[in-house]
Amino acid sequence: MKSKQEEVIIAVELIISKIFIIRGRHVMLASDLAELYQVETKVLNQQVKRNIGRFPESYMFQLTKEEYERLRSQNVTLKRGQHSKYLPYAFTEH
C-alpha cells in the first residue's frame, strides 16, 4: 500500500509528464486536462466552445496542423490508431 506522500509524488510526476512546450509556453492538451478532471475530452471541448469568451489566447489556443503533427511524430500525444477530427486545444499554465 502506498503512503499519501508516494501518491502525491506519483500524481505530480503524472501531471509533469503531460506538460509540453508549444509556442514557447508550458501547456497541457485538452485530452490530458479532461483526464485529470475525469471528464470526456468531448465534454471539455463543448464547454470551452460554449464559453469561448472566458478563454483568451493567453490562456488557451488551438494547435495548428503542423504543431499537432510534430507532437504526434514524437509519439507523445496519441497512441497508434487514435485520431481526432479536430485539432486539439492547448491550455497554458495561467
**Contact call for residues 12 and 69 (beta carbons, < 8 A):** no
CB-CB neighbours of 77 under 10 Å: 19
- Stretch 60-68: mean pLDDT, rounded? 93
| Residue 55: predicted pLDDT | 84
What are the sequence ranges of the domains in the chain? 4-92
What's the pTM value of the predicted model, to 2 decimals?
0.76
Q: How far apart are CA 68 and CA 71, in angstroms?
A: 5
Alpha helix segments (H runs only) across 1-94 = 4-17, 30-37, 41-50, 65-73
The three-class DSSP label of residue 20 is: strand
**Contact call for residues 78 and 48 (beta carbons, < 8 A):** no
Instruction: Say what percent of the chain tops pLDDT 70.
Output: 79
What tens digit of pLDDT does each residue of 35-47 get?
888 999 999 999 9
Greatest CA separation found in the chain? 45
